[in-house]
Amino acid sequence: MMDLSALEQPVAADAASSAAAVSRALAALSDLDLLRLRALARLRARGLPPGIDWSDLLNEALARALDGARQWPQGVPFLVFLAGVMRSISHEVWQRRRREADLIAFGNNAEADARDAICPAADQERVLGASEAVAAIYRLFANDPMALHIISGLANGQSAEDIRILHGLSEVEYNSARRRMRRALLRAGLREHTP
């Protein structure tokens, strides 16, 4: 990653100065950071509704960061900040989808407190999309049992140390599997079509 001193927002900022800092940071990203950002966007776009791809997600994140709607917090590395914005946008997309499904199903009563039914359409779509995305990620590592252990642990919210101990991996084995995993992720992020 680029030099941390350049990467981090040096002082607490208002919307306008945050936006200006984002603009400067974007221009200063190295080629390798651009690759990393692309891979992050492609990864986070997995499981989004059909018709929304990684570049839509990245564009929206950039737009929010550049207009100050999302402010770059002090001390947070720039790519970590952008990754967080993409994460929250993907969550909002599904929330919006659910509201739209409610409106279609219930019309003007969609917001009524007394409504005793929940429209399942958006949730079912999300569950299906997530199932397929999880399966696709597992397939990326199908030939690497150690990486699969790590993936499975991450999906369960386990820490690196927990995963290593649970599967009896030495630190060398664990770190080696993580490097293979990162390489596979980067390569998937560089492909035109996500497998």
Partner 1 sequence: MTQRGMTGWHPEQDLTALLDGLSEELLAARDHDLATWVREAGEPVEDIAEPMRRLLAAADAGGIPPHMSMDLKAGVRASIARNQ
Which residues bind to partner 1, rule: CB under 8 A? 1, 15, 23, 26-27, 29-32, 34-40, 43-44, 46-47, 49, 51-52, 55-60, 62-64, 66-69, 77, 79-80, 83, 87, 89, 92-94, 96-97, 126-127, 130-131, 133-134, 137, 151-152, 154-157, 178-179, 181-183, 185-187, 189-190
The distance from CA 122 to its chain's CA centroid, rounded to whole angstroms, is 20
Please, which residues bridge with residue 9 across strands? 74
**CB-wise, 72 or 94, nearer to partner 1?**
94
Report the sign of the C-alpha dihedral through residues 183, 192, 64, 128, in that order. negative
* Residue 105 or 136 with smaller CB distance to partner 1: 136
**Nearest distance from C-beta of residue 133 to partner 1, angstroms:** 5
Least CB distance from residue 114 to partner 1, whole Å?
A: 27
Nearer to partner 1, 110 or 125 (CB): 125
Q: Read off φ and ψ for residue 24, nearest 5 degrees.
A: -65, -40
Residue number, 115 or 183, with CB nearest to partner 1:
183
Residue type, 55: S
Q: Which residues contact 46 (CB under 8 A, 6 or more apart)?
A: 133, 136, 137, 194
Min dist CB 193 to partner 1, Å, is 15
Report which residue type is found at 118.
I
Shortest reach from residue 172's CB to partner 1, in Å:
16
Q: CB of 174 within 8 A of CB of 164?
A: yes
User: 166-169, long-range: CB within 8 Å, 24+ apart, which pairs?
Assistant: none
Query: CB of 11: closest distance to partner 1 in angstroms?
Result: 21
CA 153 – CA 188 distance, rounded (Å)? 20
